[in-house]
Amino acid sequence: MTCARNTVFALSAATLLTGAASANVLQNAGFEAGTGADAADWAEIVGGPSGSVGRSSLMPNTGAFSAYMQFDHINNPTAGGAYFIEQVQPVGSIDPSLNYDLSFFAKMDSMDFTGMDAFVQILWLDQDASNGGGVQGEMLTSLVGLGIGTEYQQFSFDGMDVPDGADSFLLRFQLSAGAVDNIANGLYIDDASLTAVPAPASAALLALGALTGARRRR
């Protein structure tokens, strides 16, 4: 019976740490807050003459809004461009001693990926310049390469390791189009989440420490 109680104690301690670290550090992660096409806490950046970026009520995954990036080289000039929405959080928004899980739901208007790609990018930043400043690490992944389709699906990146010198982050979703005639597409993003989890070594040490403490109480 004592052994069983000790095991439950160790597991409960690990669960408590995981729960304490699991809050979503993104603001307005479902794009519900904002005015019109402007999503609060996000920057919408239009990098070409033939597309747009903003929050949209057309096809949310949940709630009333999602983020939507689109380009149209059929009814607009044929010109390369990058259309993205991003969020930057301040110093102290992340803990470099922890790992992070990123997840979101995404879909495209069309499965014709001619002349375009869609990306998720996270930059781990040193905004207080305590480690020289600037970008300390990066993850950039093609959603087309991961098999994005025309129905919402969840994309997850678990256990991302934060560089030691990072104190904050920039998360970006991007739709890029080349200077190709007669192409058009759109990218929807919704229900994003960036949550901290204990690094594997930290979780193991916590469980071991909790179990050792329980044994000493026997």
pTM for the model stands at 0.84
Rounded Cα distance, 10 and 15, in Å: 9
DSSP 8-state class, residue 29:
T
Q: Are 85 and 189 in contact (CB under 8 A)?
A: yes
Residue 12 has pLDDT above 50, yes or no: no
How confident is the model over 30-60, as pLDDT tens digits? 999 999 999 999 999 999 999 999 999 999 9
Name the 3-class secondary structure at 122. Answer: strand
What percent of the chain has pLDDT above 90? 80
Backbone phi, psi, residue 212, to 5°: -65, -40
Q: Could you state, in order of their start, the residue ranges of all structural domains in the chain?
A: 23-199
Q: What's the CATH number for 23-199?
A: 2.60.120.260
* C-alpha pair distances (Å), 124 with each of 20, 94, 100, 161: 22, 9, 11, 10
